[in-house]
């Protein structure tokens, strides 16, 4: 597909060397609609993309990639909170910095998550004890087929662990154009994860939390500009309490996180590590040496290499723990998104 096609290697953090028929960029809502209509008139598939940090391209994409780069931030406040209305084309980590610089804390635990603001609600981004849903006031979307703009409250978004309505009922033909965050003025530090537990809650500043989160991330996670990856490849599995009891009996040192509904979340990285797979290589794909939940492109991996390794890991974990891991990363085939779970089964 080399003729009249464009490279996607720099538009996906896995750095898979694939191509698309065309790439177009929207800087405003009207431009977004125009570009969508133009591409759909050609009867080609359209893929809205942010930073490509949560996708795996399985092959060349036979359609138009539409980059949402609508910028702009508006801040308002009342006595209780700041309301930060951010357009989808802002870079998430820049937003975290802007809020901290303006002394509006609340996003410090979510520093350094790659990607754009418009993608953040899709999997309800989360890290170091905080999820987007805790600060999300509303999400604005445009229904592309009608051009209608709709505002969804945080409840409407049906947020869950790496979940939202945008992965299900609103997956197709809807684009997130802005997100509003509510940052309370009654800030309280969230210090329940990793090295953050060492801070004194009475004295710690948002900036110190931010610095510690950045340090932990730099230590553990491969920099996608140097090593192709899409962060955690699988979700952490959530199992029933009875299954968790059995597992803890067999593996007393397994890390586990009780959930509000009585179920228990496990660390997929620990399960994979426990099978001795850290650093394991298959074709051009490998498991990261420091963090077993991260699949990396060793240089020339294609989508099939990553899928083969993912299948191998899933099978190993199922054999050892009777748990089937589910991909967190979204899989994109020639004509659009495909069911990642089905592909790795």
Selecting among 131, 162, 164, 314, the annotated active-site residue is 162
What does 326 interact with, of ligand EPU, ligand FAD, none (CB < 5 to 8 A by kind)?
Answer: none
d(CA 314, CA 312): 6
- Tell the smallest beta-carbon distance from residue 157 to ligand EPU (Å): 18
By beta-carbon proximity to ligand EPU, the closer residue of 26 and 113 is 113
255 makes contact, choosing from ligand EPU, ligand FAD, none, with CB < 5 to 8 Å by partner type, with ligand EPU
Crossing angle of helices 92-101 and 206-220, rounded to 10°? 150
Rg of the chain over Cα atoms, rounded to whole angstroms, equals: 20
Our finding on whether 21 is near ligand EPU (CB under 6 A) is no
The strand pair at 148-153 and 238-239 is best described as unpaired
Asked if 180 and 136 touch (Cβ cutoff 8 Å), the reply is: yes
Instruction: For residues 129 and 134, give the distance between their C-alpha atoms in angstroms, rounded to a whole number.
Output: 10
Max CA separation in the chain (angstroms): 61
User: What gap in Å lies between CA 167 and CA 123, rounded to an integer?
Assistant: 7
Q: Give dist(CA 332, CA 339) in Å, integer.
A: 9
Tell me, yes or no, if 304 is annotated catalytic: no
Length of the chain: 345
Shortest Cβ 262–ligand EPU spacing (Å) = 19
Which one among 269, 284, 303, 327 touches ligand EPU, defined by CB under 6 A?
A: 269
Q: Is 324 in the site for ligand EPU (CB under 6 A)?
A: no
**Residue 21 main-chain phi, psi, to 5 deg:** -65, -45
User: Is 119 among the residues that bind ligand FAD (CB under 6 A)?
Assistant: yes
Respond yes or no: is residue 232 known to be catalytic. Answer: yes
Shortest Å distance, C-beta 329 to ligand EPU: 8
DSSP state letters, 71-110? --EEEEE-SSEEEEEEETTSBHHHHHHHHHHTT--S-GGG
How many Å apart are CA 290 and CA 28, to the nearest integer?
41
What six digits make up the tokens of 99?
């809020």
- Closest separation in Å from C-beta 170 to ligand FAD: 8
Contact 321, 271 (CB under 8 A): yes
CB of 221 or CB of 244, closer to ligand FAD: 221
- Minimum distance from residue 11 beta carbon to ligand FAD (Å): 8
Specify the residue, 293 or 313, whose C-beta has the smaller distance to ligand FAD: 293
Give CA–CA dist 98/252, Å, rounded.
43
Choose the contact partner of 269 out of ligand FAD, ligand EPU, none; CB within 5 to 8 A by kind: ligand EPU
Residue 68 contacts which entry, ligand EPU, ligand FAD, none (Cβ below 5-8 A, type-dependent): ligand FAD
Q: Please tell me which residue in 29, 90, 131, 328 is annotated as part of the active site.
A: 328
State the residue number with the nearest CB to ligand EPU.
Answer: 231
* Angular region, 124: left φ>0, alpha ψ -120 to 50, beta rest: left
- Cα–Cα distances in Å, from 30 out to 33, 38, 43, 45, 68? 5, 12, 20, 20, 12
Q: Report in angstroms how near the CB of residue 214 gets to ligand EPU at its nearest.
A: 12
213-272 positions binding ligand FAD, by CB under 6 A: 221, 224, 229-231
Report what 106 binds from ligand FAD, ligand EPU, none; CB cut-off 5-8 Å by kind.
none
147 binds ligand EPU (CB under 6 A): no
Indicate whether 232 belongs to the interface with ligand EPU (CB under 6 A): yes
134 near ligand FAD, judged by CB under 6 A: no
Query: Which tokens go with 304?
Result: 């099939």
Could you give the residue numbers annotated as active site? 162, 232, 328
Where along the sequence are the contacts to ligand FAD (CB under 6 A)? 13, 47-55, 68, 88, 113-116, 118-120, 122-123, 125-127, 175-176, 221, 224, 229-231, 330, 337
Residue numbers at the binding site for ligand EPU (CB under 6 A): 127-128, 193-194, 220, 231-232, 235-236, 255, 267, 269-270, 273, 278, 291-293, 328
């Amino acid at each position: 597909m080399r003729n009249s096609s464009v490279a996607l290697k720099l538009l996906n953090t896995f750095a898979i060397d694939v191509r698309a028929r065309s790439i177009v960029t929207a800087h405003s809502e009207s431009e977004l609609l125009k570009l969508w209509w133009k591409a759909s008139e050609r009867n080609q598939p359209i893929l809205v993309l942010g930073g490509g940090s949560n996708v795996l391209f399985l092959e060349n994409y036979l359609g138009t990639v539409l980059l949402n780069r609508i910028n702009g931030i508006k801040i308002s406040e009342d006595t209780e909170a700041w309301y930060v209305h951010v357009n989808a084309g802002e870079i998430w980590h820049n937003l975290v910095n802007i809020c901290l610089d303006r002394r509006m804390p609340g996003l410090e635990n979510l520093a350094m998550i790659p990607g754009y603001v418009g993608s953040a609600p899709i999997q309800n981004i989360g890290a170091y004890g905080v999820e987007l849903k805790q600060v999300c006031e509303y999400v604005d979307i445009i229904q592309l087929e009608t051009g209608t703009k709709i505002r969804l409250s945080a409840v409407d978004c049906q947020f869950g662990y790496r979940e939202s309505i945008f992965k299900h009922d609103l997956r197709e033909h809807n684009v997130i154009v802005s997100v509003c965050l509510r940052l309370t003025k009654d800030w309280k530090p969230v210090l329940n994860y990793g090295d953050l537990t060492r801070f004194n809650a009475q004295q710690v500043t948002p900036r110190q939390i931010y610095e510690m989160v950045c340090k932990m991330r730099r230590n553990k996670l491969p920099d996608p500009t140097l090593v192709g990856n899409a962060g955690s490849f699988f979700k952490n599995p959530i199992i029933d309490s009875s299954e968790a009891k059995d597992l803890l009996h067999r593996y007393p040192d397994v890390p586990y996180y009780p959930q509000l509904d009585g179920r228990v979340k496990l660390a997929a990285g620990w399960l994979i590590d426990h099978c001795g797979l850290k650093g394991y290589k298959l074709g051009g794909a490998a498991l990261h040496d420091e963090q077993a939940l991260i699949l990396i492109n060793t240089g020339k991996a294609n989508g099939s290499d990553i899928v083969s390794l993912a299948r191998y890991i899933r099978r190993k974990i199922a054999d050892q723990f009777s748990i089937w891991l589910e991909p967190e990363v979204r899989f994109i085939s020639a004509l659009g998104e495909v069911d990642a779970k089905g592909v790795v089964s």
